Structure 1
Amino acid sequence: MLEQTPREVLVIGGNRYFGKRLIRSLLDSGDRVTVLNRGSAPPPPGALHLVADRDDEASLTAALAGRSFDVVVDQVCYTPRQAAVAARVFTGRTRRYVMTSTVEVYEYQDAAAPLAEGAVDPLAVPVDLDLRWEDPEVAAARYGEGKRQAEAVLAAAPGLPYVAVRVAHVLGGADDFTGRVAHYADRLRAGEPIGVSVPNHPATYIHVDEIAAFLDWATRQEFTGPVNAAAHGPLRTADIVAAVAEALPGGPYRADYRPAAAPGDGDGDGGVGGGPQPSPFSFARSYGMDNSYAERLGFRFSHTRDWLRRAVAETLEGN
């Protein structure tokens, strides 16, 4: 049996959470991995390191001089401006460009059934390059919109075979830095109310190890365009809270759910009508993802019931 030639893979960002797991998976498969960041953190052992500001086209171009890659995985493309720079720099420099996108591209949808990729066509998304995307507050407030417009820029770029992996909400890992699971643990311990949207819809999730495996798999395929990545089994807020309550010592704990204040109403726990602010994993719109396209392509997703309790427990152990 002939050995496969190691691939040259560039990962932009990827120094935490599922990015670290992706890099380890690529290295374990024999790929030659280069990590590009601003120098804020070294790459995992075994990976090469390039230092550049991905927002600075001249800096990025200089760092990549004479380099080309079989695959680029962009973990930190959040805005259409960043996508436009990437399209100019990587067209002709890679055979495959995989952008980590998000379920939040569907944030304007409200559907009874899980959403397939066609619900948001990148080529139909208007792009506003003049918005102050460099302002962190602007970018954070428009996270889903930034990803949607980034996809639109890549879709319109001639000669760049791109994939946009629309990632479901990620759970698991002692290195979960988001604080979302910890939010519920703190509320339960303190006996404080948990604000939920009205209505409060289930959403799609994926384990941190599974999304790393999916991204690795996506680098080895031939398809292009958007693809949803989500485990089977949508979860409600109460499902996650129940798993948190079970994992906490000193129980039993009782969840006190309250209708949440509308966004922008009041602050802290003093929203209009006295309602608490919406908690994480509480969704007033229904925009869970359909994962059948990826499964037709050959990836097999897990079911949330097989790992939810484990994911919550390992996250709480690390916080």
Structure 2
Amino acid sequence: MSGSTHLLVLGGTEFVGRAVVEEALARGWDVTVFNRGRAEPPPGVTALRGDRADPDGLAALDGGTWDLVVDTWSAAPVAVRDAARLLAGRARHYAYISSRSVYRWPMPAGLTEDGPVVDASPDAGPTEYANDKRGGELAAQAEFGAERTLLVRCGLILGPWENVGRLPWWLNRAARGGTVPAPGPRDLPLQYIDARDLAIWTLDAAERELSGPYDLVSPPGHTSIGELLDLCVHVTGSAAELRWLDPEAVEAAGVAPWTELPLWTPPGEFHDALHGSDVSKALAAGLRCRPAAETVADTWAWLAGRDGVLPDRPPRAALGLDAEAETRLLSAR
């Protein structure tokens, strides 16, 4: 192939996939997206429709050729297997957006890409998220070969178009004002990756034909829960007051980390697993992470433009505090 890079994104309309598409378009690449058509991709792409769960769902890809493929699939590994098998002779390189969830528990602080991973099969139907992602990795490597497959093992992902609702929940809550329960300690470190930085690194790495696993989150010390929540108050322009609470007070109030208090987990094993990744390999391969202030401000600008409403996505448990839980927290000492 000559001229512009031809990129196929399997997905391409939501969060990470959308960030990849927008970054590729900004580079002047020729971009094709393949998905079910439930959401509109950014303008300027070639849109192919199909449902990977259907027996003939990949028909729209027949006959096409691309330089690079980026796949964001998060369900049955067999769908990755079938797509990669079809594309193995039609593309040079396959980048699979995976997850640090593929590592076996417990995941100690300082874990690298050499850590043990969960058991999985490339031929499996949908199981658990970690097994699905590991099965997707195996499927991509089986069809493209390890030397042509990049495994992007992301941690917590934030940024505009976040449809999970973690950072958006804190932004919406800060915008409402009043006293906001803030789980501490304030200097508790957080590691995450802005979806746009993920997209930049992935396309750079795929273009260079890097292969194998790379953990992709911000370096240690990039931000803290205190900085992130302060930024939420600042960018929304509200008069919200953060009331900081010790982890013990949160536990005593019966409030669940991570779900009722999105982004936050108390110090300990789970926190080490989420926010203790050694990302020296990705940093050496060019990873750069924008300041937390930019991620928070841009996410608020996007969210405010939608009147605080998240994009539709498959049902999942609601995140954030309800009024009763917030009252219990604010009464905690």
Is the 2:188–2:226 contact (alpha carbons within 8 Å) kept by the matching residues of 1? Answer: no
Is the 1:109–1:286 contact (alpha carbons within 8 Å) kept by the matching residues of 2? Answer: no
**1:237 maps to which of 190, 213, 225:** 225
User: Aligned runs of 1:1-319 on 2, under 5 Å?
Assistant: 5-60=3-58, 62-106=59-103, 108-113=105-110, 115-120=111-116, 125-128=118-121, 133=126, 142-157=128-143, 159=145, 161-173=148-160, 175-185=161-171, 189=177, 191=179, 193=181, 202-232=189-219, 233-257=221-245, 259=247, 274-278=253-257, 279-283=261-265, 284-287=270-273, 288-297=276-285, 299-302=286-289, 304=291, 307=294, 310-311=297-298, 313-314=300-301, 317-318=304-305, 319=308
Is the 1:163–1:225 contact (alpha carbons within 8 Å) kept by the matching residues of 2? Answer: yes
* Aligned-partner SS, 1:101: strand
Tell me the C-alpha RMSD between the 2 structures. Answer: 3.3
Tell me the distance in 2 between the aligned counterparts of 1:11 and 1:186.
Answer: 31
TM-score, normalising length: structure 2 = 0.74
Distance verdict in 2 for CA 1:66–1:227, change over 3 Å: same
Q: Shift in Å at residue 210 of structure 1?
A: 1.4
Q: Shift in Å at residue 302 of structure 1?
A: 2.7
Is the 1:169–1:206 contact (alpha carbons within 8 Å) kept by the matching residues of 2? Answer: yes
* Aligned-partner SS, 1:223: coil
Distance verdict in 2 for CA 1:101–1:159, change over 3 Å: closer
Instruction: State which drifts further: 51-60 or 186-195.
Output: 186-195
Tell me the distance in 1 between the aligned counterparts of 2:173 and 2:292.
Answer: 23
Instruction: State which drifts further: 271-280 or 203-212.
Output: 271-280
Q: Shift in Å at residue 98 of structure 1?
A: 0.7
TM-score, normalising length: structure 1 = 0.76
**How many residues are paired up?**
292
Gaps of 5+ in 1: 134-138, 262-270
> How much identity, in percent, do the aligned residues show?
28
Is the 1:6–1:30 contact (alpha carbons within 8 Å) kept by the matching residues of 2? Answer: yes
Gaps of 5+ in 2: 309-333
